[in-house]
């Protein structure tokens, strides 16, 4: 069911479908389900986060119409906030970066969002996030009274996903054996994990991160110097919400694995999914290939968004070839044939 007590388009947030994937793996040893968060009105799981961070302040009168909201986002949270701010008459300024998809930028602007695009990375690391956060702090200093939801530290971010986990449990009529969550701010993974542990559920939480991300790297360890092209999961800076113990196991995936998994998913299941959704598929394939998941297990993969905002990248043959070479053979094998091995990204 959708989240209660809401009106208009915002009343459709939540209650997203959970569908069984029967053609994804060549041998049906497992029951695999996908939580399709693209069916939120803003197109992603971040609608839940955006609403949970703003709802209380709006209802209390702390954010009356005309108030200013400032946030940093790689795309999906920005769209969720843009829709909510438009509905409630709030001015929204969003700091994004060069990895944000053209579709997301156009959607934000259609809602009337004032978009600032960071085009140069941090001089020390080359990453965009530190620069985005610096610009947010500058805007807050320039605009007294502006509100920063701060998805990277706001406990309302993970709390939104107790509802996400509750929906999965209700649909399955019980807990899955494995739950696969990609992570960036750590909101979805921590929220689902906190709910599972608070209720004594036996679900194994699989954290899915990008190779080259700092999230699961200890502070005194070097981060692998890998250029990341696909937004939505991974981060160059650990958020304050990170609790690495929330994941029982962690799988790091490459951009190429995400692309291959996304293309394999649409070929076999006719699901057009975003890059972080593909990352969960790649992680599942990795663990099942290594026999790390017992046969007969039920696995739920959270698909954070759809692939319509990646048509110029993941689903563009020229873009894929330019960055990874000719790899179409990796996803074109039919589901009744063994999957072709992934090629290591260089």
The answer to whether residues 314 and 275 touch, using CB atoms and an 8 Å cutoff, is yes
The answer to whether residues 162 and 191 touch, using CB atoms and an 8 Å cutoff, is yes
215-224 contact pairs (CB < 8 A, 24+)? 215/183, 215/184, 215/186, 215/242, 215/244, 216/244, 216/247, 216/250, 216/252
Per-residue model confidence (pLDDT) at position 336: 41
The answer to whether residues 302 and 313 touch, using CB atoms and an 8 Å cutoff, is no
Per-residue model confidence (pLDDT) at position 343: 40
Per-residue model confidence (pLDDT) at position 236: 81
The edge-to-edge listing of strands for the beta sheet with 298-303 is 18-21, 31-36, 298-303, 178-182, 204-210, 249-253
Per-residue model confidence (pLDDT) at position 333: 59
Per-residue model confidence (pLDDT) at position 1: 63
Closest CA to 115 of 88, 143, 136, 96: 96
Per-residue model confidence (pLDDT) at position 235: 85
Q: Is 127 helix (H, G, I), strand (E, B) or coil?
A: coil
**What burial letters (b/e) apply to 278-304, b meaning 16+ CB within 10 Å?**
bbbbbbbbbbbeeeebeeebbbbbbbb
Per-residue model confidence (pLDDT) at position 342: 41
User: 3-state secondary structure string, 291-336?
Assistant: CCCCCCCEEEEEECEEHHHHCCCCCCHHHHHHHHCCCHHHCCCCCC
Per-residue model confidence (pLDDT) at position 254: 95
Q: Is 255 helix (H, G, I), strand (E, B) or coil?
A: helix
The answer to whether residues 181 and 234 touch, using CB atoms and an 8 Å cutoff, is no
**Ranges in the chain, pLDDT < 50:** 335-346
With residue 69 as reference, give the H or E element that holds it. strand 68-72
| pTM for the whole structure | 0.91
172 vs 23, 29, 227, CA distance in Å?
19, 18, 38
């Amino acid at each position: 069911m959708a989240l209660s007590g809401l009106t208009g388009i915002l009343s459709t947030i939540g209650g997203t479908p959970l569908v069984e994937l029967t053609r994804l793996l060549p041998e049906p040893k497992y029951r695999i389900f996908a939580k399709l968060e693209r069916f939120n009105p803003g197109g992603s799981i971040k609608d839940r986060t955006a609403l949970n961070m703003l709802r209380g302040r709006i209802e209390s009168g702390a954010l009356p119409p005309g108030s200013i909201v400032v946030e940093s986002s790689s795309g999906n949270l920005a769209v969720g906030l843009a829709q909510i701010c438009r509905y409630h008459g709030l001015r929204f300024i969003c700091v994004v970066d060069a990895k944000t998809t053209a579709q997301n930028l156009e959607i934000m602007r259609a809602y009337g969002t004032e978009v600032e695009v960071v085009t140069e990375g941090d001089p020390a690391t080359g990453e965009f996030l530190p620069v985005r956060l610096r610009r947010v702090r500058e805007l807050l200093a320039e605009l007294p009274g502006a509100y920063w939801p701060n998805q990277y530290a706001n406990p309302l971010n993970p709390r939104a996903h107790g509802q996400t986990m509750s929906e999965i449990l209700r649909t399955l009529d019980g807990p899955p054996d494995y739950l696969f969550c990609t992570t960036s701010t750590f909101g979805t993974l921590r929220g689902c994990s906190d709910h599972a542990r608070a209720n004594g559920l036996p679900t194994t939480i699989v954290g899915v991160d990008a190779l080259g991300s700092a999230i699961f790297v200890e502070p005194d360890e070097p981060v692998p110097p890998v250029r990341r092209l696909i937004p939505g999961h991974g981060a160059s800076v650990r958020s304050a919400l990170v609790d690495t113990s929330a994941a029982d196991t962690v799988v790091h995936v490459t951009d190429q694995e995400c692309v291959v998994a996304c293309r394999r998913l649409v070929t076999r299941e006719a699901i057009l999914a975003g890059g972080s959704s593909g990352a969960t598929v790649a992680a599942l394939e990795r663990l099942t290939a290594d026999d790390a998941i017992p046969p007969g297990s039920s696995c739920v993969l959270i698909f954070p968004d759809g692939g319509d905002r990646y048509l110029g990248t993941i689903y563009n043959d020229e873009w894929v070839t330019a960055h990874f070479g000719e790899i179409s053979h990796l996803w074109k094998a039919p589901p009744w044939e063994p999957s072709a091995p992934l090629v290591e990204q260089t």
